[in-house]
Amino acid sequence: MNEILSIQNLSKNFGKIKAVDDLSFTVEKGTVYGILGPNGSGKTTTLSVITGVLHPASGSYRWFGNKPGKWER
């Protein structure tokens, strides 16, 4: 499997504020990405969602092809 992280249509709201709106991307094995943007653009919120600190309002993400909480050895 070459896919490390897959994010599909991820959104996170805080009340009426959309912190992350319909974010999608894939990180392949052997690649390096940076998350850049101005203050308030959703960088920390995105990382908090994909590490399990926050729950997404909608969308999904997978680490190594597994949904959160569905890890296989």
pTM of the model: 0.85
Is 2.60.40.1180 the CATH number for 3-63?
Answer: no
| Average pLDDT of the chain to the nearest whole number | 92
For residue 22, how many C-alpha atoms fall within 13 Å in the half-sphere facing its CB?
0
Residue 71 has pLDDT above 60, yes or no: no
- The ranges assigned to domains in the chain are 3-63
Alpha helices (runs of H) in the chain, residue ranges in sequence order = 43-50
Residue 71, Cβ neighbours under 10 Å: how many? 9
Question: What is the three-class DSSP state of 50?
Answer: helix
CA separation for the pair 41, 68 (Å, rounded): 24
What's the pLDDT tens digit per position in 30-58?
999 999 999 999 999 999 999 999 999 99
